[in-house]
Amino acid sequence: MSSIDEEPRRAAELGHLPGGHRSTSAGAPGGRYRKVSPRRLLMAAALAAVAGVSACGATAATATAKKASAAAATDNPYAGNMTYWYWAQSDAPGANKWMASMIAKYEKLHPKVHINLVPQGDSTLIGAFTATAATKSGPDIATQWATLPTLTPAFNGDIAPISDYVPKKEWSKWIGTQENMWNGKLWAMPLYLLGSPMVWNKQMFRKAGLNPNKPPTDYAQLLSDCKALRAKGITPIVAGNKDGFIGSSFLSWSGKGDLKSLKALLNVQIGKQSASSQLSTFYNQMATLVKDRCFNNDIASLGEVQGWQLFPEKKGAITMSTDGFALQAAKVLGDKNVGVAAPPNFGNGPLKKYYDTTQSSDEFITSWSHHKREAAAFLVWLHQPANLSAWYKDTQVFPADKRFPVSNVTNPIARKLYKLDIKPSLWLENYLAPEVDSNGSQPAGEMITSGSGTPSQAIATWNRAISEWKLAHADEYKKFQQWAQGF
């Protein structure tokens, strides 16, 4: 397959292909979040148990299933005590307040329901769930970052498919569901959208003799604009890559145009195509941007959010960030002085047309919960139009639902961002195995922006990360292969 357009069953039919990111400073508006290495899959014990089932055991299992079915038939979806491990505040300041108010409202509507809300931390989100999943105990509802950080626990049997409890006529209204599809089922519910625009200072563009209303749209234009800005003593692009996130982010923002297809990126990870064939052009382009001083001199010593903060301080003309940050910067600099658009795409491949939006994090029901129907009923209720409007009022982050009325978005820059966010989108980082991202893509990008390595060494970092992942997590690697065949 040569493009996402040729992958309709998994993605393009839905017209929106977001992807997502990892790590942030707590409370940073529209912050990103770093993927950390997942645990080994706990498949061996499950396979051994399956292998040991005898005919007698099968009969017992059938009887147990009948009892479970009978119990489900009498289960009240509006009664029960649930625990919810929740994360969203770093992406959407105000999210914790909104969720607390939603729970209070829901418990008032359904007095027999009680939900214990447990906010999660940025740095422990994956690790805490990994630890509790190993014991098959813990929350009834939980949050993880989109796609592989969610699907890896699904591979492990830690998540119940939400589509088993929510009719398609409901979840077809949600935006971003294709990020968490596997084996024909939806495994988690999107709550909000996180777009990643290019933001530029129109006053600085004018000073450099550039058209303030025409940002760079491709690699050649970006290089040309960088030179014009530098000539006037203006730092072209401000960013921070001490934590490595910009490497994966730039691949998602601009490098996707160099790829032959999304399938090609998956094939790199399972050894069907070489990393060099798909990524060398991108890393050479990044190295040229560094060589031509397109970035701030201290990019290697600043964290991602620190780099963004240089933009409203007028220390650079361009940054690539998030919807929330773009709106915050416009408040500081003035709406008329700030432009927002899709980041420039470096190549002309079939992925060039896709924007960069993700559902970011998602909500799911754990496989061990005794309250799956109750949990599903609550999650569906969160998507009621009045609750979506309350979410936007409290967070100024767009809900991941087609029913959200755009009339609620009145700020002119926010309206531009919303139009970008609902375009067909693809966030590549979501389609990297977590260990390939954290041990390959992120350090490779950091190597380039710091000047500590060459493009060929960046490719070698990818190859090493893929080899180590394959050897250390054979079961996960096998499941990834099976998942990748759906594209």
Tens digit of each residue's pLDDT (9 = 90 or more) over 59-111: 444 444 444 444 443 468 999 999 999 999 988 889 999 999 999 999 999 99
Q: Tokens 């699907």, residue? A: 151
| The two structure tokens encoding residue 18 | 């977001």
Pick the CATH number of 20-52+71-194+359-407 from 3.40.190.10, 3.60.15.10, 3.30.360.10, 3.90.170.10: 3.40.190.10
Tens digit of each residue's pLDDT (9 = 90 or more) over 269-288: 999 999 999 999 999 999 99
The domain ranges of the chain are 20-52+71-194+359-407, 195-356+430-484
pLDDT score, position 75 = 66
Domain 195-356+430-484 has CATH 3.40.640.10: no
**Residue range 200-217: mean pLDDT, rounded:** 98
**How many other β-carbons are positioned within 10 Å of the β-carbon of residue 242?**
18
Whether 20-52+71-194+359-407 shares its CATH topology with 195-356+430-484 is answered yes
User: How many alpha carbons lie under 13 Å from residue 399 in its C-beta half-sphere?
Assistant: 24
Q: Are 389 and 186 in contact (CB under 8 A)?
A: no
pLDDT of residue 122 exceeding 70, the answer is: yes
17 to 10, 126, 220, 421, 477: CA distances (angstroms): 10, 23, 26, 10, 23
Residues pairing with 159 in the sheet? 366
Tens digit of each residue's pLDDT (9 = 90 or more) over 33-66: 333 333 222 222 222 222 332 333 334 444 444 4
Model confidence pTM above 0.85: no
Of 243, 405, 251, nearest to 308 by C-alpha is 243
Residue 154: band (very low, low, confident or very high) from pLDDT cuts 50, 70, 90: very high
SS3 292: coil
Of 477, 401, 376, 14, nearest to 160 by C-alpha is 376
The one-letter code for the residue type at 394 is: D
